[in-house]
Amino acid sequence: MFCPRCRDEFRSGFTHCASCDVDLVDSLDQVPEPVSTPSRAAVEPVLPVAMAEYCGFLVLDDAREARDKLSLQGMRSDILIRQIEDDTTSGRTQEEYWLRVERNAFVQAAKLLGYDAAESHEEEEVACGDCGHRVAPEETFCASCGARFEDD
């Protein structure tokens, strides 16, 4: 399966290109080559956007639903698919789906998707090592920049 716009190849089972928001085709033979006139995007460099993992899902449709909610509000996000080993003795792998959002839109995404940070007392807060934002010690991520915290 191929995307007729970006021409990326997808493995069997996929029917839609999430990047281009178009249906996939079986072959690129009938798809005309893109016109080579320079577009505005080709003239102006696209700066990379820092993305932060917002949350994980075990069901792809749940991740897509969250991504669609953000998209309706004009917020850019993507879904990262990871293979993880099943913790049973079967040795099978399964997939988990991580919704990633732009770091500068992390707080808005959290509010839109229903995440409410627990209220914390100022004297109990610590500074995020990445941006300096004050966070409660029990938090697993910075609501300002999206940085994830590991347990010591």
Q: Check whether 121 has a pLDDT greater than 90.
A: no
Residue 39 included in any domain: no
* Shared-domain flag, residues 102 and 74: yes
38 and 50 Cβ atoms separated by less than 8 Å? no
* Shared-domain flag, residues 84 and 130: no
* Shared-domain flag, residues 87 and 138: no
| Whole-number percent of the chain with pLDDT over 90 | 11
Range of the domain at 126: 117-152
* Shared-domain flag, residues 14 and 54: no
* Shared-domain flag, residues 58 and 101: yes
Q: Which tokens hold the place of 92?
A: 């099978």
Q: Check whether 152 has a pLDDT greater than 60.
A: no
* Shared-domain flag, residues 78 and 20: no
Q: Check whether 118 has a pLDDT greater than 90.
A: no
Residues in the chain, how many?
152
